[in-house]
Amino acid sequence: MDAFWDWFRWLDEAYGIKLTIFYDEWDRGRFLKGLVTTIQLSFVCIVLSVIIGMIGAWFQMSSYASARRLVHAYIQFFRNTPPLVQLYFFYFAIDSAIAHLFDLHTGILSSFGWAVISLSFFAGAFNTEIFRAGLEAVPESTVEAAESLGYTKWQVYRYVTLPLAYRVCLPALNSNLVNLVKTTTVAYAIAVPETLYVSNQIWSDEFNVPEMMNVVWVVYLVLVGILVWLMHRWERAIRIPGFGRSSHE
């Protein structure tokens, strides 16, 4: 392994390609920590945004007009404003307001916590609409058949319409989750130590901006590629022949 790291040191000395994250232990350590933070942030936001989407879609199908209006307002707020503005709103405005309300001397959450909340709600607004479209694609006769068997509204949603809606909306959901992983880079703005943030620290110290920008580009290409591969595997695994796909596929 030492020979592998030394090759990158030779690359720097011979050609000026300064990839210190490979041969400098300090740079390598903080870059790996940033990468782990990006993976953790992406995973938590993906899970929470999907849960928010399912709950939001459920309330959109509610018979209570107030619940539908509340979800509609939530969607409009998060879908029609930039994610960076939302992040600043939560981190600076909401955190300060809550701390002042309870007479706290520090914020109630770390920058990582507010990034999770902001990005999850941002992606959850889109997921709500994606799941709603999937639910509306389920044939009404299928819902009526479940109700005739004595299923409650919640049981119909959980065991019938939601599993079928998943199969319809997975391509759109896949695109939104890919966008979410890329959008995690805005957490850099509130000093969340993710990949872009630590890369900026490294290139500020080592003056190797071109090298680190290419490294960041490759890292996100790989992360998004893995997510797309997993989503496509999941889509094939739960496919029902004749449902949710055109007849020529």
CATH number of the domain bearing residue 149:
1.10.3720.10
Residue 244: what pLDDT?
A: 55
**Helix (H) or strand (E) segment spanning residue 245:** none
Residue 61: what pLDDT?
A: 85
Whether 5 is covered by a domain: the verdict is: no
Whether 29 is covered by a domain: the verdict is: no
HEC letters along 115-155? HHHHHHHHHHHHHHHHHHHHHHHCCHHHHHHHHHCCCCHHH
Total domain count for the chain? Answer: 1
Q: What is the DSSP secondary structure assignment for residue 105, as one 8-state letter?
A: S
| Burial bucket for residue 228 (CB in 10 Å: 0-12, 13-18, 19+) | middle
Question: Would you tell me how many other CB atoms lie within 10 Å of the CB of residue 106?
Answer: 8
pTM of the model: 0.91
Residue 243: what pLDDT?
A: 59
DSSP for 17-41, please give it. Answer: ---HHHH-HHHHHHHHHHHHHHHHH
Q: Write the CB contacts of 100 (distance below 8 Å, at least 6 apart in sequence).
A: none
Whether 58 is covered by a domain: the verdict is: yes
Residues 24, 25, 26, 29: is their CA dihedral positive or negative?
positive
Residues 26, 32, 36, 39: is their CA dihedral positive or negative?
positive
Distance of CA 6 to the CA centre of its chain: 36
Whether 226 is covered by a domain: the verdict is: yes
Look up the domain containing 203 and give its range. 39-237
Whether 34 is covered by a domain: the verdict is: no
Supply the angle between the helices 111-137 and 65-79 in degrees, to the nearest 10. 120
Whether 187 is covered by a domain: the verdict is: yes
Whether 3 is covered by a domain: the verdict is: no
**pLDDT by residue for the chain (249 residues), tens digit each?**
678 888 999 999 999 999 999 999 999 999 999 999 999 999 999 999 999 999 999 999 888 999 999 999 999 999 999 999 999 999 999 999 998 888 887 788 999 999 999 999 999 999 999 999 999 988 899 999 999 999 998 899 989 998 888 888 999 999 999 999 999 999 999 999 999 999 999 999 999 999 999 999 999 999 999 999 999 998 888 877 665 554 444
Whether 194 is covered by a domain: the verdict is: yes
CB 113 within 8 A of CB 121: no
